[in-house]
Structure 1
Amino acid sequence: MTEDFYCDEVLCGKTQVEKVLETENVLAYHHTKPFYPVHIVAIPKKHISSLITLEGSDDELVLELLGVIRKVAAMVTEEKGACRVITNIGDYQDSKHLHWHIVSGKPLS
């Protein structure tokens, strides 16, 4: 896996994705290798390494990102009855680009 799958593959168009919601600065799409029956990833289009590397200048982008996550979570919850919103940090974070998972259902085997 690349250090930053989202910049190196998704945002530059090398890996095609099924978009769920897109704004000027944020993209939410169906995970390319889902771990759950419903597995959507939301990412900022600007490279930010992780939640703990956010800077004050990222405040507007974070609000936009959270707005997209909220909308996607509401859509999933309306359709499936529940969802989880997850982000990983440190060794748990495979791709070093801030991203959130919106998931529903039991983990796939």
Structure 2
Amino acid sequence: MSDCIFCKIVDGSIPSKKVYEDDQILAFYDLEPQAPVHVLVIPKIHICCADAVTEENAGVIAHIFTKIPEITKSLGLEKGYRIVNNCGEHGCQSVKHMHFHILGGTQLGGRMT
């Protein structure tokens, strides 16, 4: 999508501080971190949100979750981390491109809200 900020990061027209990249996904540091380590992991194909996951595109989401342990290990998150996905307005999804937040680097609070 031409107006999607994450699609522009994928195509290189907007720079990012990359953590991991392969042919299907990209992981990069969040510009407004909410933890000492805050990385976003996105599919390179545009999927707007969790509601748009289908049998046809679910493979890339599965691929993200097979790579998260490798990504978190490279970030030094051996003591644990949180994975967050926001979906829709009430879920506070700010960018309409499926993404997962990896948060860690400290003891996180027990509440999710």
TM-score range (shorter-chain normalised) is 0.7 to 0.9
Structure 2: stretches of 5+ with no match in the other structure: none
Number of residue-to-residue matches in the alignment = 102
1:44: which partner in 2?
43
Query: Normalised by the size of structure 1, how large is the TM-score?
Result: 0.81
Provide, for residues 8-50 of structure 1, a one-character-per-residue CA deviation record: whole Å limited to 9, x for no partner. Answer: x311223211211111110011112222210000000000011
SS of match in other structure, 1:57 = coil
Give how far 1:98 is off.
0.3
Provide, for residues 41-83 of structure 1, a one-character-per-residue CA deviation record: whole Å limited to 9, x for no partner. Answer: 00000000111211110132122111122322344422xx221
Structure 1: stretches of 5+ with no match in the other structure: none
1:1-109 superposed matches below 5 A: 4-7=4-7, 9-75=8-74, 76-78=76-78, 81-91=79-89, 92-104=92-104, 105=106
> Greater relative contact order (Cα 8 A, min sep 6): structure 1 or 2?
1
Higher helix share: 1
CA RMSD, Structure 1 to Structure 2 (Å): 1.9
